[in-house]
Structure 1
Amino acid sequence: MMIARVVGSAVATVKDDKLIGLKLLVVREVTPANELVGKPLVAIDAVGAGAGELVLIASGSSARQTTITNNKPVDAVIMAILDSLEVEGALTYVKN
């Protein structure tokens, strides 16, 4: 799993039929100190995440293990929204 922040959304009118109705969000990995790193990627939203939220991402074959992504051409899925993040005793994120 990877910790990431939702930084945008993507809309694709033309797509594989198995992706119809799925919400596409742009996310970027964050460090444990809640700093953006890495390149943006598009992930299917399985939990109703929104802009600015910290989320957990599963990728690869694990991304196809949620109820809405089962047997779909998905490489990344948002599977949890973090309420808080504590690293080495320091609180680095608290959801508003």
Structure 2
Amino acid sequence: MEIGTVIGNVWATRKKEELRGLKFLIIQPELPKDSSVENVTYIAVDQIGAGVGDKVMVTKGSSAANITPDSKLPIDALIIGIIDTVDA
């Protein structure tokens, strides 16, 4: 999992049938200050009602693709929580 901030929306009128009805948001990851990893934005599916400016928890990979019990969706990032506060 990682923490990020929603910085925008993505609208796609033509997409795979199994993606219809899903909301797509642009995520800016929040990395530790001493991290040497590049801070690259990505798209995540949202089913919990996050919006621009929200700080969110995101899971990636096979955990994100398995959001439906019947089949794996062609996604690799899923918003799993909206963060109220972080104490570190």
Pairwise TM-score range, normalised by the shorter structure: 0.7 to 0.9
5+ unaligned residues in a row in structure 2: which ranges? none
Q: CA deviation at 1:32?
A: 5.2
5+ unaligned residues in a row in structure 1: which ranges? 88-96
Please give the secondary structure, in 2, of the residue aligned with 1:84.
Answer: coil
Asked if 2 retains the 8 angstrom alpha-carbon contact of 1:26 and 1:42, the reply is yes
Residue deviations 1:43-79 (CA, integer Å, cap 9, x gap): 00021101111100000101123359x5211100001
| Identity %, equivalent residues | 37
RMSD of aligned residue pairs (Cα, Å):
1.9
TM-score (norm 2): 0.85
1:85 aligns with 2:86: yes
Moved over 6 A (4+): none
Corresponding residue pairs, total = 83
Query: CA separation in 2, counterparts of 1:32 and 1:79?
Result: 20
1:73 aligned partner? 74
TM-score (norm 1): 0.78
Q: Which has the higher strand share?
A: 1
Name the structure, 1 or 2, with higher relative contact order (CA <8 Å, separation 6+).
2
